[in-house]
Amino acid sequence: MKIKIKDLGEFQLKPGSTLKDLIPEIKKISKELPVGFKYNDTYIDWHYTFNENISDNLELEPIFPSDKEALVFLRHTASHVLAQAVKELFPEAKLGIGPPTEEGFYYDIYYERPFNEEDLKKIEKKVKEIIKKNLSLERREISKEEAKALFKNLEEDFKLELIDEMPDSKVSIYSQGNFVDLCKGPHLLSTGEVKAIKLLSVAGAYWRGDEKNPMLWRIYGTAFFSKEELKAYLDRLEEIKKRDHRKLGKELELFTIEEDIGPGLVIWLPKGAILRSIIENFWKEVHLQRGYQLVYTPHIALRDLWKVSGHLDFYAENMFPPMELENRVYQLKPMNCPFHIYVYNQKRRSYREFPIRYCELGTVYRFERSGVLHGLLRVRGFTQDDAHIFCREDQLEEELIKVLDLVIYFLKVFGFSEYKIFLSTRPEKFVGSPEIWDKAENALKKALEDKGLEYEIDPGEGVFYGPKIDLKIKDVLGRFWQCSTIQVDFNIPERFDIVYIGEDNRFYRPIMIHRALLGSLERFLGVLIENYAGAFPFWIAPVQIKVLTITDRNINYGENVVKILKKEGFRVEADFRNEKLNYKIRMAQKEKVPYMIILGDKEESDQVISVRTRKGEIINNLKLEDFISKIKIENQPEYLLNELS
């Protein structure tokens, strides 16, 4: 049987034997051994067996340790090593699933109590012992009946449940030493090939994500092919911890989420409210300049509205429960779009009025499970920077291009110049006809291509009423965050039967574009906090300048400087306390204030100021008016935009 391996040549393999039999030959022609292979987008490891029925044109693509995809093999093997270690230390534990992930791997394990830090240390020690033993991995295909007997004997109830749901008559298992697991693969040749591994944390996770099922303990870890890569990753994790918006939100007094009020419900503290209001005011100003009309809508509506819109049929699990008042049923709004339909319907519309653009900073409520709530990034009440554009079909492409331009402008203003674009297509559950969906998807594709923007298809990830473009922004740590979204909707206008009068006096249906540039203010601000580690650009910093006096003698001069700066429109705080100057500077730096003005006898005598930046740069003997001229430039929203260009 002939096997082709890309760039390595053709090899003869006996039917029924594993790819491992080719290793001696491959070693003769390649300095480096692949960790595995890819065939038709499927990963195949050395343990795989081909039968006689394979095509003569079969060609495998080798995956080497330097390839990113090699981490799939490494981390999957690492998860099995973790499971083996847990079973050796805690024989009563029962195994769930243990996949590789983008950042590492995890294994869901049932045990009578949560694993603690001490357990984690013991497990990691055992993991390293198993790696040192360099146990060979073996793959076998067995019948479902054999698999059931095997895992019943091992008392692995979760594995039995998985076997029952598998459609094929045969399943694959992998073993290493005394350990065996139900698994499709792929894996490395042996445990010794896991060169650098670290267990990171433990969290609760319901079996299969269903809160009706038992709670398992998810042990997270990561693995790399070198200790240097692992160290770099762990250093990055430390930086992420420092930038955690929940930690900084508390330290900088930006927001709070209180259990007594309710999980996922954000209270904006004074400094956070200032930050948010600056962004909101800028958002409104830009939208009004671009031809949008501002609207406000209620937080609640009759349940019947959500029947017409389709939300009750396709989105009910994400909505808060209904409430009955005066024999009528109401529901908190999960989206703003139906309200904007009623704004549109306030009068008869003519083709001459289009496009009509409504915008709203609209607060919506969605029932996120408590297990997925995460600071500002996953909440239950949030404000979307929402807009809906009603246009004619001949205007659709131009409007989509304008929206794309506006999205990119906003992201760059806030310092985000790198992003990935995804086109999300029709999901399994949808309203409208496939033909309408195809039309909407093609409109989005054409707009992206006309703008020359690269994008990836994200199959089946559209919303129930239409396809969408998602922009994921890249932060300073290289993480991508979902924020901006643009959706084309032929369906909701039809469900609400909205029309306009065309040039020929006949009725036509407008097209609706849904779009959010920042996504939600909560999520965007969470990303913004972490991206800047709380050291915001000058124009959005809640406190821009702190005036520090060296002695009580300088308070009058300090008050005059504060008064002038406030009159110029800057956000200023004074620290005239009878404390040492170094202490005041440390406090201001901890609060991440962009500029500190330091005033002592010399400054007062010469009628100048000394300026210290939060980075520690010092400028002495500066005239106040010169400082104001400088920071007026920095106080412009487009300052970062100019810096990026």
Pair 109, 205 in one domain: yes
Among residues 177, 152, 179, 175, the alpha carbon closest in space to that of 163 is found at 152
Q: What pLDDT is attached to residue 210?
A: 85
Q: What pLDDT is attached to residue 148?
A: 96
The more confident residue out of 209 and 566 is 566
Phi, psi angle pair for 127, to nearest 5°: -55, -45
Please state, in angstroms and rounded to a whole number, the distance separating the CA atoms of residues 331 and 626.
56
Q: Is the pLDDT of residue 65 over 90?
A: yes
Which residue has 């389709």 as its token pair?
A: 310
Q: What pLDDT is attached to residue 371?
A: 78
The C-alpha angle 502, 359, 314, rounded to 5 degrees, equals 85
* Other CB atoms within 10 A of residue 63 CB: 22
In a domain, 246, yes or no: no
In a domain, 594, yes or no: yes
pLDDT tens-digit map of 192-237: 999 999 999 999 999 998 888 999 999 999 999 999 999 999 999 9
Q: Assess contact for 603 and 581: CB atoms under 8 A.
A: no
Average pLDDT over residues 516-532: 95
Q: Is the pLDDT of residue 101 over 60?
A: yes
The residue range of the domain holding 43 is: 2-63
Average pLDDT over residues 125-137: 98
Q: What pLDDT is attached to residue 52?
A: 58
In a domain, 110, yes or no: yes
Please state, in angstroms and rounded to a whole number, the distance separating the CA atoms of residues 269 and 525.
13
What is the SS3 assignment for 473? strand
CATH of the domain at 107: 3.30.980.10
In a domain, 243, yes or no: no
Q: Is the pLDDT of residue 272 over 60?
A: yes
User: Which residue type sits at 294?
Assistant: L
Pair 513, 565 in one domain: no
What band does 533 get if pLDDT is binned at 50, 70 and 90?
A: very high
Q: Which residues have a catalytic role annotated?
A: 337, 366, 384, 386, 388, 468, 514
Pair 488, 384 in one domain: yes
pLDDT tens-digit map of 473-484: 998 888 899 899
pLDDT tens-digit map of 361-402: 999 999 998 878 999 999 999 999 999 999 998 999 999 999
Among residues 494, 434, 495, 437, the alpha carbon closest in space to that of 466 is found at 437
Pair 544, 518 in one domain: no
Pair 214, 173 in one domain: yes
Q: What pLDDT is attached to residue 56?
A: 61
Q: Is the pLDDT of residue 645 over 60?
A: no
Pair 347, 492 in one domain: yes
Q: Which of 48, 63, 78 is the last residue of a domain?
A: 63
pLDDT tens-digit map of 328-356: 999 999 999 999 999 999 999 999 999 99
Please state, in angstroms and rounded to a whole number, the distance separating the CA atoms of residues 621 and 597.
11
CATH of the domain at 482: 3.30.930.10
Q: What pLDDT is attached to residue 57?
A: 67
Please state, in angstroms and rounded to a whole number, the distance separating the CA atoms of residues 586 and 580.
10
Among residues 83, 64, 62, the alpha carbon closest in space to that of 74 is found at 64
CATH of the domain at 15: 3.10.20.90
Pair 306, 323 in one domain: yes
Pair 172, 186 in one domain: yes
Pair 338, 396 in one domain: yes
Q: Is the pLDDT of residue 51 over 80?
A: no
In a domain, 460, yes or no: yes
Q: What pLDDT is attached to residue 643?
A: 62
Q: What pLDDT is attached to residue 463?
A: 81
On average, the pLDDT of the chain sits at: 94
Please state, in angstroms and rounded to a whole number, the distance separating the CA atoms of residues 300 and 328.
13
In a domain, 239, yes or no: no
Q: Is the peptide bond before 355 cis (omega within 30 degrees of 0)?
A: yes
CATH of the domain at 638: 3.40.50.800
pLDDT tens-digit map of 534-551: 999 999 999 999 999 999
pLDDT tens-digit map of 443-453: 899 999 999 99
Report the 3 state secondary structure along 43-102: EECCCCECCCCCCCCCEEEEECCCCCCHHHHHHHHHHHHHHHHHHHHCCCCEECCCCECC
Average pLDDT over residues 577-602: 97
Q: Is the pLDDT of residue 132 over 90?
A: yes
Average pLDDT over residues 581-607: 97
Pair 336, 450 in one domain: yes
Residue 180's contacts (CB-CB under 8 Å, 6 or more residues apart) are 150, 154, 173, 174
Pair 287, 436 in one domain: yes
What band does 562 get if pLDDT is binned at 50, 70 and 90?
A: very high
In a domain, 250, yes or no: no
Q: Which of 532, 566, 596 is the last residue of a domain?
A: 532
The number of domains in the chain is 4
Please state, in angstroms and rounded to a whole number, the distance separating the CA atoms of residues 334 and 155.
44
What is the SS3 assignment for 497? coil
Residue 312's contacts (CB-CB under 8 Å, 6 or more residues apart) are 303, 306, 319
pLDDT tens-digit map of 491-516: 899 999 999 999 999 999 999 999 99
| Bridge pairing between strands 59-63 and 2-5 | parallel
Q: What pLDDT is attached to residue 53?
A: 61
Phi, psi angle pair for 154, to nearest 5°: -85, -5
Pair 213, 268 in one domain: no
| Bridge pairing between strands 356-365 and 293-294 | parallel
Q: Is the pLDDT of residue 438 over 90?
A: no
* Other CB atoms within 10 A of residue 259 CB: 7
In a domain, 528, yes or no: yes
Q: Is the pLDDT of residue 54 over 70?
A: no
